[in-house]
A = this chain, B = another copy of it.
């Protein structure tokens, strides 16, 4: 990967972090994602589970569905998903289904991570598509958002 590509991933992650902050302000677990298209398109999504009471509205799915509208086709060849937290089975499976080229994520998810931690759905050779995966971009900043959010919730007496 070239230096330019790495900078681009980090730039995209800063947008994903901004989206995570917006999620936290709205009372949702702070996870943000951006879909980066082959012509430089940048589609931002954030976790909207509580805001929309939609169990499927994780940041990746929100960004992916919006990006598919822009793309005009469900097949997202040439696109990269950049997300602050390791995708869960639902989101990793959606990225495979959509034939997304690359996945860049910040920190691992010990409870539901489905790319490296509990499953390896994005790179499983039995499925009909695999993604190039880069992890650890702005990992500390991504993890810190989650720590701060859950610490504040505990202080407020919510589980």
Instruction: Assess the A55–B93 pair: CB atoms within 8 A.
Output: no
Residue A49 at the chain B interface, CB threshold 8 Å? yes
8 Å CB contact of A118 from B73, B112, B127: B127
Contact B56 A98 (CB under 8 A): yes
Contacts of A54-97 to chain B: CB distance below 8 A: 54-58, 61, 64-65, 68-69, 71-76, 88-94, 96-97
Is there a chain B Cβ closer than 8 Å to A119's Cβ?
yes
A154: CB under 8 A from chain B?
no
Question: Are A127 and B98 touching (Cβ within 8 A)?
Answer: no
Interface contact B93-A76, CB-CB below 8 Å: no
With a cutoff of 8 Å between Cβ atoms, the chain B residues found around residue A92 in the complex are 89-90, 93
A56→B69 CA distance, assembly (Å): 12
A37 shortest CB reach to chain B, Å: 14
- The verdict on A128 contacting chain B, using a C-beta distance below 8 Å, is yes
For the complex with contacts A56-B98, A89-B96, A111-B128, 6 further pairs of A-B residues with Cβ separation under 8 Å are A55-B76, A56-B65, A56-B94, A89-B119, A90-B90, A93-B114
Give 12 A-B contacts (CB < 8 Å), ordered by A residue.
A53-B69, A54-B74, A55-B64, A56-B68, A56-B97, A58-B97, A89-B89, A89-B93, A89-B121, A93-B114, A118-B124, A119-B121
